[in-house]
Amino acid sequence: MHRRLIALVATAVVAAAACSGASSATPIADASTIITQSLDAVSRAKTVHARAEVTGTVPFDLGSLLGGESGGSPTASGASMDLSGTYLDATVDITGKKGTVTIAVPVLLGMKADIIMDGDTTYSRISLMGDKWQKSVSSSEPGASPSPSQDVATMVAEVEKALSAPGVTTEKLADEKCGDVDCYHVKITAPASSLRSDAGGLLSGLGGAGGLGGLAGDLASAAPGASPLVGGDVTIDWWARKGDLRPAKIVIGTTTQGSPVTITVTMDKWDETVTVSPPPADQITDQPSFEMPSFLP
């Protein structure tokens, strides 16, 4: 579970940044330009709060949960999982490498995980394992991982390629209010049949920017015929603030076995100070972390 949580934290950090700060005094008419410039602004973000909420029902294989070999699709057992109440809430300082993340999956025995990041040190606590925190320290080696700007450049390039993939449509809708600010509204539609082509980059790129890249990546890899997970078009609605192109909201939607699944991400508190504190020493344990069942997003 610990490795899974760290991966989600990394996704949240990229998401947190999905946004930032270039001024946009001249109105932008092209939908694809709004998306790519909004992503390109990532490198200027310092801190952000992002909340991703998931609703809908997805199939899963009980045999996989119990450690058996199903050899089939996620619906081999006919079971399903109601994602209502599932969310990820993250407040991160991108430049300071610190922040907090909370993940809740009520359908899994009310599972909730809390994460505190402070430089190279991470504390994680999972409700299914009790009320203790587990501490881990990562070792940073020069050149071991690409810089955030390199990661963003890769994501932007992937999305630009995906936007021009066959079957993908990008439409600029009427401007809307996001709270008290004016926003561009762009809608992207990708047919399920295209998700194994370049269009799959929409979910891995835009999904990562939204804060649930893991689930978006699962959708991108589930092509019709190979899995019934994605049963219809995938739509991505993107609201970017007109003044600085920072995303205010991203909504990713599709259907699974005829049931709608929606990921809604809201972002605010840009560049506000983020403060974290480690748990008390007597609340930290050396017990091994919990491994999340594989059917979870």
On whether residue 83 sits in a domain, the answer given is yes
Total structural domains in the chain?
A: 1
Q: 231 φ, ψ to 5°?
A: -110, 0
Considering the domain boundaries, does residue 296 fall inside one? no
**HSE, side-chain direction, 13 A CA sphere, residue 80:** 14
List b or e across 148-169, with b for residues whose CB sees 16 or more CB atoms inside 10 angstroms.
beebbbebbebbbebbebeebe
Mean pLDDT (whole number) for 236-265: 89
Query: What is the reported pTM?
Result: 0.73
Instruction: Confirm whether 138 is domain-assigned.
Output: yes
- Token digits for 58? 């997805």
**Within-domain flag for 295:** no
The rounded mean pLDDT for the chain is: 74
In a domain, 211, yes or no: yes
Give domain status of residue 290, yes or no.
no
With a CB cutoff of 8 Å and minimum separation 6, the contacts of 241 are 178, 181, 182, 183, 247, 248
What is the residue range of 154's domain? 2-285
**Least confident stretch, 11-15, 88-92, 160-164, 293-297:** 293-297
How far is CA 86 from each of CA 25, 178, 202, 205, 259, rounded to the nearest angstrom?
A: 37, 23, 22, 21, 16
pLDDT of res. 219: 40
Q: Decide if 88 is inside a domain.
A: yes
Q: Is the pLDDT of residue 242 over 90?
A: yes
Least confident span in 101-105, 116-120, 212-216: 212-216
**Looking at residue 119, which CATH number applies to its domain?**
2.50.20.20
Q: Is residue 294 part of a domain?
A: no
Virtual CA dihedral for 192, 195, 201, 207, nearest 10 degrees? 50
Q: CB–CB of 262/256 below 8 Å?
A: no
Split at pLDDT 50, 70, 90, the class of 192 is confident
User: Which pLDDT belongs to residue 237?
Assistant: 95
